């Protein structure tokens, strides 16, 4: 977003909080250093999530957030990163441009994004979402990660 003061510089977000209806972003101009706050309305089209048992639920950012925070417990990822991660995920879900999205699809999106920021959180997340039934399946996922890292 462009700076509202000098109208030349690009701004970076230095703080971001959301309540249910708005995202408050504290921005700083990269050129002149001017700081200002924007309030953006969260406008999410009505998307329904189809659970594995076929039940439909309205899309709920909070629910995704809870799952992510649980996976990120005690990991070195701060609130701002979580917030932009959620924005990212939400954006991707919206760009699917579907009225109904399968919960599995949401899980794939979340795990793909989590993998980019934290391996441990990623493993924790997929162990819940893929409901690993044994230590073996957990181990094979962990090996995949190691395999990618080493080669």
- Residues interacting with Zn ion, by CB under 5 A? 3, 5-6, 9, 29, 31-32, 34
Min CB(2)–Zn ion separation in Å: 8
Q: Closer to Zn ion by CB, 34 or 132: give it.
A: 34
Report the residue number, 27 or 124, with the smaller CB distance to Zn ion: 27
Rounded CA separation 136/105 (Å): 24
136: buried, middle or exposed (CB in 10 Å: 19+, 13-18, 0-12)?
exposed
The residue (of 32 and 128) whose beta carbon lies closer to Zn ion is 32
d(CA 66, CA 2): 32
Q: How far is the CB of 41 from Zn ion (least distance, A)?
A: 24
The phi, psi pair for 148, rounded to 5°, reads -65, -40
Q: Dihedral of CA 141/146/148/151: which sign?
A: negative
- Minimum CB distance to Zn ion, residue 34 (Å): 5
Distance (Å, whole) CA 143 – CA 139: 6
Shortest Å, Cβ 15 to Zn ion: 17
Nearer to Zn ion, 34 or 129 (CB): 34
């Amino acid at each position: 977003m462009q700076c509202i003061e000098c109208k030349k510089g690009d701004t970076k977000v230095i703080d971001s909080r959301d309540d249910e209806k708005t995202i408050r972003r504290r921005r700083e101009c990269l050129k002149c250093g001017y700081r200002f706050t924007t309030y953006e309305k969260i406008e999410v089209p009505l998307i329904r999530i189809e659970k594995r048992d076929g039940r439909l639920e309205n899309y709920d950012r909070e629910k995704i957030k809870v799952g992510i925070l649980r996976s990120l417990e005690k990991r070195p990822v701060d609130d701002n990163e979580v917030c932009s991660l959620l924005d990212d995920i939400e954006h991707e879900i919206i760009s699917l441009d579907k009225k109904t999205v399968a919960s599995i699809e949401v899980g794939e999106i979340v795990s793909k994004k989590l993998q980019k920021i934290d391996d441990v959180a990623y493993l924790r997340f997929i162990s819940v979402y893929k409901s690993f039934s044994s230590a073996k399946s957990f181990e094979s996922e962990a090996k995949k990660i190691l395999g990618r890292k080493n080669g």
